[in-house]
Amino acid sequence: MTATTVDQLMLPGQAAAPPGPVDLTAMYVVHHAFRRDLAAFQAAVMGTPVEDRATWRALTARWNKFLEILHKHHTGEDTALWPLLLAKADADGRATLEAMEGEHAEIDPLLSSCTAGFERLTTYADADARDALEVRVVALGEHLARHLAHEERDALVLVQRYLVQDDWDRLEKEHFKPAHGPRDLPFLAAWVLYQLPDEHLAQVRDSMAGRPMELVWRLFWRRPFERRERIAFRYA
C-alpha cells in the first residue's frame, strides 16, 4: 500500500517542505513566527530610543514570550522528536539529528545574552548596551535562520521517512501541547497567525485549529495581540 502524501505548507522564508505522510503545518507556522519575530526584534533594537523606558519594557516582555515559546519548542525536539528519530535513522540521519542538538546548544548562549541586554535597557538609558544587544540579536537571527533552514531541508526529511501521522499526533499530544497551558492559548493562536499570508490561512486553519478557533481569533484575540505588538515594536 502506498502511503498518503500530505500537501505540505510552504511559507515565505521557508527553506523546504519535504513531501511525505506527516502534516507538518504546525512546525512550519512556528518557524515562520520565529523568523518574523527575529526580524522585528532586530529592527526594534536598532530603532528604539535608549531613553524610552516604557517601550523597552514592552519590548522586553514580548522578548520573554518569544524566548519561552522557542525554549519549549526546542525542548520538545530534544527530548522527544530527535530521540524517536535517532532510534530509526541510518548513520547519515543520526549525524543530522546530532547536528540539530548541537545547533540548539549554540543558540542558547545567544538567547541568554540577548535577555540580559533587554533587561539592562528596561532600567538604564545605556547606548553601549543597546549597541551590544544589536550585535547579539543579529547574531541570533543568523544562527536561528541557519538552524531552521537546516532542519527544514534535512531533519524534517527524516520525519517524513520514518514517521507516520499517528506518530506525529502522539508527539504533539504527549510532548508539545502539554508545554503550554490553557491561559497561553490566546497569545499562541494570535502569535502563529499574525502576519501569516492570507493565501495560506485556510490551509493552516484546516490543519491546526478549524473554523471555530479562527472565528475566536478574529473576534477576540487578534486585536489585543496586534495592539500590544504596535506598542512593543513601535520603532521597528
Per-residue model confidence as pLDDT tens digits over 30-43: 999 999 999 999 99
Question: What is d(CA 85, CA 169) in angstroms, rounded to the nearest whole number?
Answer: 15
With a cut of 50, which residues of the chain have pLDDT below it? Answer: 1-2
Give the model's pLDDT for residue 102: 96
Give the model's pLDDT for residue 3: 64
Question: What is d(CA 173, CA 143) in angstroms, rounded to the nearest whole number?
Answer: 29
Give the model's pLDDT for residue 1: 42
Burial of 38 (0-12, 13-18, 19+ CB in 10 A): buried
Question: What is d(CA 103, CA 164) in angstroms, rounded to the nearest whole number?
Answer: 26
Torsion of CA 132, 227, 184, 205, to 10 degrees: -110
Q: Which domains does the chain have, with CATH numbers?
A: 25-180 (1.20.120)
